[in-house]
Amino acid sequence: MSKALTTQELHNLAMNHVGKDLEKRGFEFIAVNSKLKRHPQFVCIDKTGQYFFVLVRAVLLPDHPDNYDVVWMETFKDHAKNKDAKVLYAGVGLSNPNGEELPIYLNEEYLIQYNGIQVIETHLN
């Protein structure tokens, strides 16, 4: 019988997709934190030495992965400004291809909605 993925495993799956995207974009990883509700998930630098805090959020479809808690994001933006870092957000939507009401199972196909990385402007507000 197939094993349904836990919330932590779904988060790890989303982080794997985002991590591969960051690598393709040339980011160097300084730190990785895969624990739920611990932010940021990735601390990276680019070729110029600019630090980036990358927030990854896994959601079950039909919830939209690009939506995030705006009030919470404001407090995180303040943290990033204090560390002279830029904020990137990556929402990842996941679903069972046989129906959104079904869980996603280990080692089975799944649907993914990933619209890429969003730059969150820290100088606004």
Task: Pick the closest to residue 118 from 48, 65, 51 (CA basis).
Answer: 65
Q: How far apart are CA 60 and CA 74, in angstroms?
A: 24
pLDDT, position 2: 86
What's the predicted TM-score (pTM) here? 0.92
pLDDT of residue 43: 97
Q: Are strands 51-60 and 85-95 parallel, antiparallel or unpaired?
A: parallel
The Cα 80–Cα 16 span in angstroms is 23
CA–CA distance from 69 to each of 3, 22, 110, 111, 115 (Å)? 30, 23, 26, 24, 18
Residue ranges of domains in the chain, CATH in brackets: 7-120 (3.40.1350.10)
User: By three-state DSSP, how is residue 101 classified?
Assistant: coil
* Centroid of chain to Cα 50: 19
Looking at the DSSP assignment, which residues form a beta bridge with residue 120?
87
pLDDT 10s digits, 4-42: 999 999 999 999 999 999 999 999 999 999 999 889 999
Would you call 24 exposed, middle or buried from its count of C-beta atoms within 10 A (0-12, 13-18, 19+)? exposed
Write out pLDDT tens, residues 72-112. 899 899 999 999 999 999 999 999 999 999 999 999 999 99
pLDDT of residue 124: 59
